[in-house]
Amino acid sequence: MKTTIVGYPRIGSLRELKFAEEKYFRKEITAAELEKAAEKLRLENLDVQRQSGLDLIPSNDFSYYDGMLDTAVLLGAVPARYTALGLSPLDTYFAMARGYQGSEGDVKALAMKKWFNTNYHYMVPEVDDDTEIKLSDTKPFDLFSEALANGVKTKPVIIGAYTFLKLARFTGKKNAGDIAQSVVNVYADVIAKLSALGAEWIQLDESCLVKDMTAEDITFFKDIYTKILDKKGSAKILLQTYFGDVRDCYNDICALAFDGIGLDFIEGIKTAELVEKNGFPKDKVLFAGVVNGKNIWKNHYAKTLAIIDDIKDKCGEIVLGTSCSLLHVPYTLKNESKLSDDYKKYFAYAEEKLSELAELKAITEGECSDKLEANKALFSQPRSGADKSVTERVAKLTDKDFVRLPEFAEREKIQKKEFGLPLLPTTTIGSFPQTIEVRKNRAAFRKGELCEADYDKFISQKIIDCIRLQEKIGLDVLVHGEFERNDMVEYFGECLDGYIFTEKAWVQSYGTRCVKPPVVWGDISRAKPITVKWSKFAQSLTDKPVKGMLTGPVTILNWSFPREDISLKESAMQIALAIRDEVLDLEANGIKIIQVDEAALREKLPLRRSDWHSEYLDWAIPAFRLVHSGAKADTQIHTHMCYSEFADIIKDIDDMDADVITFEASRSDLTILDVLKENNFRTEVGPGVYDIHSPRVPSENEIENALHKMLDRIPAQKLWVNPDCGLKTRGEAETVPSLENLVAAAKNVRKTL
Ligand code: GLN
Ligand code: ZN
């Protein structure tokens, strides 16, 4: 059995590429120096993979910014506003990625979107009626040749034609069908060129196949690939899928002339069944994605071998591989110098996953039985981090633990009386500007350069100032400002037993941005009160209600590396109980309004609609309900979501049973408000009235107009007035006038009611 991976990370194990690019952006190094740095990283990656014994090493998985953007450039889908700048190819590329503002002009970046169900974001290619699709770049050839010159015949990786056409934005009259033929021609060209250079395998990534496909989608796919495969040269073509199973088109893709098909056996809940039931064409190679490309846990060899065993008779040659590109995991455990071996022995980052593939291969060849035994032993011994009191608490949950009483309408009445807020109450989402001073003090405290007492004094003063400022502006429901928090997950994770933090486990989020998700290690419980001290302090400063500010269980889980030994549902319930404890603690300490942010709830919605409820919402929504079902009727529960793209799950959002929800709306076309109206949305709502992503100050007038539009669709008794999201990335200079205008606008509109 041979081995391969779908792709390798590229940002550098110590984020070298990020730093080199940022230097280039600041004009501290030249393009040639940046290219040199990139080449060095690629050759290091190549070497690590070669040393590991990997049989088929990918190339062209490197990117300066994003693989989809590279594909757009390859096809010549570069909007005229970027070429018009007259910059070098590299700078044109970066202008598409990041926007450009300078002597040659002023253009915004291409849109960016979440890459399937990951926290990685891709640049959305744009095609207009004048776009001329033609082979316009040499990167796949250059990188193949570069590796070949260094002794490795690689497997070039390119995002496939179908996925490109499905994800591109068509801004004119033309659609995907209109440009399909020219796209096909480019792919045929690329395949021919790579074949001529000596490539044996070419991987085309078509992860759009794991989404719901209509009959037309399938026909479109077949049409494209019948043409591409018709012209193929000597190189074998691998159709690579990931992030799920291909249940809608399995037999169709098996019938096409691909030489290999890559299937995801980790996230593809139906993959094994598909192969077992339908068989797999013996003349094709099955690339079996059995090592998880998205998580950091060691592979369970016995389980993996069982999968292989089950399908072995159904197919011909099998190549062992990862479930998706290793882009979504950190580089190497070698950089984790602080984490104890007691943890690390359970982990496998990208580099360690290469060793796993080598070991699995050896085991299937009858060697390395000691490795198999060691792996079995690791998984059979109980792991630290088990907490019986937590699992028992979850096991004891009954239906009534997920129901808050009295029901919504009753609570709404009680709360109107209790708070006596004006119509269209004004509030913010939580954070206030995290100035350099705030970040400096926190960093100094973390490094031990500032003692706890001094740091506390600093934070207290920031909170006092923040409360006074909000009173002066005239907001109705205040916040403490979140100055003590670095990050809305890490801050909570640090106070939860069962969480661990890594040192260098960076994962690319987009472009040069990386995140370092914490790890759910064991059973989760609240080690100590998390927010009570500062919330209580803030409330003591004012007669107005100050919102307690928490992160919800689904968001905490979605932005962490989750456990694999228990279900996501089980983890979500554990975290929900921990946050529930915090809610009750805040309530007991006199906090009357508590916001539980679920910024990332929408993010992990399964790729297939048919899986939305069974695989996700059926535990995610209850987890949120569990957090607040113990709250008293006169405690008001708010939630916040960053995007308003929840028209499809509007009933589920209402089912969260919060009293108030705030969300981003100023950049959307307000159709969400129609959806709220049509569905008789009962939760009170605060659709953001201005965009906090830009330093622009919205005028009073503008906000009034927005409010009138909202009032056309939402009853005044249910409407709140707030910005789109937290203000932490904003400066004080624009924050104060923006909020002043917001309050003035609300007051003006109130008079008309
Ligand atoms: N309460 C958080 C804040 O204001 C919410 C952040 C978010 O939605 N991403 O910063
Ligand atoms: Zn937000």
Mean pLDDT of 48-54: 98
Backbone angles phi, psi at 107, to 5 degrees: -130, 145
What is the Cα–Cα distance from 66 to 10, expressed in whole angstroms?
10
Query: How much is the pLDDT for 481?
Result: 98
pLDDT per residue as tens digits for the range 560-583: 999 999 999 999 999 999 999 999
- pLDDT of 668 > 80? The answer is no
pLDDT per residue as tens digits for the range 123-132: 999 999 999 9
Mean pLDDT of 85-92: 97
C-alpha closest to that of 476 among 638, 283, 291, 314:
638
Domains parsed from the chain with CATH numbers: 2-380 (3.20.20.210), 388-393+422-750 (3.20.20.210)
Q: Which atom of ligand 1 is nearest to the CA of 485?
A: 10
Tokens matching residue 650: 């509007």
- pLDDT of 53 > 90? The answer is yes
298 is in an annotated binding site: no
Residue nearest to atom 3 of ligand 1 (CA): 726
> Of 300, 613, 693, 708, which one is the catalytic site residue?
693
252: DSSP letter: H
- pLDDT of 383 > 90? The answer is no
642 is in an annotated binding site: yes
Crossing angle of the two packed helices 369-380 and 301-312, in degrees rounded to 10: 120
46 is in an annotated binding site: no
What band does 96 get if pLDDT is binned at 50, 70 and 90? very high
Q: What percent of the chain has pLDDT over 70?
A: 100
Ligand nearest to the CA of 664: 2
- pLDDT of 667 > 80? The answer is no
Q: Which atom of ligand 1 is nearest to the CA of 641?
A: 8
Pairing of strands 593-597, 547-551: parallel
Ligand nearest to the CA of 642: 2
ipTM over 0.90: yes
What is the Cα–Cα distance from 631 to 588, expressed in whole angstroms?
10
Query: How much is the pLDDT for 50?
Result: 98
The answer, yes or no, to whether any atom of ligand 1 lies below 6 A from the CB of 725, is yes
Angle at 243 between CA 238 and CA 245, to 5 degrees: 75
User: Ligand 1, from 475, 482, 691: best to mutate by most atoms within 8 Å of Cβ?
Assistant: 482
What band does 689 get if pLDDT is binned at 50, 70 and 90? very high
Lowest mean pLDDT among 43-52, 78-87, 278-287, 486-495: 486-495
Q: Is 613 a catalytic residue?
A: no
Each residue of 710-747: b (16+ CB within 10 Å) or e? bbebbeeebbbbbbbbbbbebeeebbeebbbbbbbbbb
Residue 671, judged by CB atoms within 10 A of its CB (0-12, 13-18, 19+), counts as exposed
Query: How much is the pLDDT for 750?
Result: 98
725 is in an annotated binding site: yes
Mean pLDDT of 426-434: 97
C-alpha closest to that of 107 among 81, 128, 77, 130:
81
- pLDDT of 5 > 80? The answer is yes
Q: Note the pTM of the prediction, 2 decimals.
A: 0.94
The answer, yes or no, to whether any atom of ligand 1 lies below 6 A from the CB of 180, is no
What is the Cα–Cα distance from 412 to 660, expressed in whole angstroms?
10
The answer, yes or no, to whether any atom of ligand 1 lies below 6 A from the CB of 467, is no
The answer, yes or no, to whether any atom of ligand 1 lies below 6 A from the CB of 726, is yes
C-alpha closest to that of 676 among 706, 711, 708:
711
The answer, yes or no, to whether any atom of ligand 1 lies below 6 A from the CB of 654, is no
Tell me, rounded to whole angstroms, the distance of Cα 308 from its chain centroid.
Answer: 30
Mean pLDDT of 387-391: 97
User: Ligand 1, from 478, 480, 488: best to mutate by most atoms within 8 Å of Cβ?
Assistant: 488
The answer, yes or no, to whether any atom of ligand 1 lies below 6 A from the CB of 728, is yes
- Cis peptide bond prior to 406, omega within 30° of 0: yes
451 is in an annotated binding site: no
What is the Cα–Cα distance from 330 to 517, expressed in whole angstroms?
10
The answer, yes or no, to whether any atom of ligand 1 lies below 6 A from the CB of 600, is no
The answer, yes or no, to whether any atom of ligand 1 lies below 6 A from the CB of 597, is yes
Query: How much is the pLDDT for 670?
Result: 80
DSSP per-residue string spanning 640-708: EES----GGGHHHHHHT--SEEEE--TTS-SHHHHHHHHTT--SEEEE-SS-TTS-PPPPHHHHHHHHH
Query: How much is the pLDDT for 695?
Result: 85
What is the Cα–Cα distance from 539 to 236, expressed in whole angstroms?
67
In the reported structure, the alpha carbon of residue 454 is separated from the centroid of ligand 1 by a whole-number distance in angstroms of 26
What is the Cα–Cα distance from 441 to 448, expressed in whole angstroms?
10
Residue nearest to atom 4 of ligand 1 (CA): 726
Residue nearest to atom 7 of ligand 1 (CA): 599
655 is in an annotated binding site: yes
Residues contacting residue 653 through CB under 8 Å, at least 6 positions apart: 641, 646, 661, 681, 683
* Neighbour tally for 413: CB within 10 Å: 12
Mean pLDDT of 277-286: 97
- pLDDT of 669 > 80? The answer is no
Mean pLDDT of 300-318: 96
In the reported structure, the alpha carbon of residue 207 is separated from the centroid of ligand 2 by a whole-number distance in angstroms of 28
The answer, yes or no, to whether any atom of ligand 1 lies below 6 A from the CB of 549, is yes
Mean pLDDT of 667-684: 90
Residues contacting residue 471 through CB under 8 Å, at least 6 positions apart: 478, 542, 544
Q: What percent of the chain has pLDDT over 90?
A: 94
Query: How much is the pLDDT for 316?
Result: 95
Backbone angles phi, psi at 478, to 5 degrees: -100, 170
What band does 405 get if pLDDT is binned at 50, 70 and 90? very high
DSSP per-residue string spanning 482-530: -TT-S-TTHHHHTTEEEEE--SS--EEEETTEEE---EEEEEEEE-S-S
Ligand nearest to the CA of 492: 1
Q: Which atom of ligand 1 is nearest to the CA of 428?
A: 4
Q: Which helix (H) or strand (E) holds 750?
A: helix 732-751
Mean pLDDT of 661-684: 91
The answer to whether 402 touches 626, Cβ cutoff 8 Å, is yes
pLDDT per residue as tens digits for the range 320-368: 999 999 999 999 999 999 999 999 999 999 999 999 999 999 999 999 9
pLDDT per residue as tens digits for the range 511-563: 999 999 999 999 999 999 999 999 999 999 999 999 999 999 999 999 999 99
Query: How much is the pLDDT for 690?
Result: 93
What band does 92 get if pLDDT is binned at 50, 70 and 90? very high
What is the Cα–Cα distance from 702 to 718, expressed in whole angstroms?
21
- pLDDT of 734 > 80? The answer is yes
Residues contacting residue 29 through CB under 8 Å, at least 6 positions apart: 20, 23, 37
pLDDT per residue as tens digits for the range 239-268: 999 999 999 999 999 999 999 999 999 999
- pLDDT of 646 > 80? The answer is yes
What is the Cα–Cα distance from 272 to 263, expressed in whole angstroms?
9
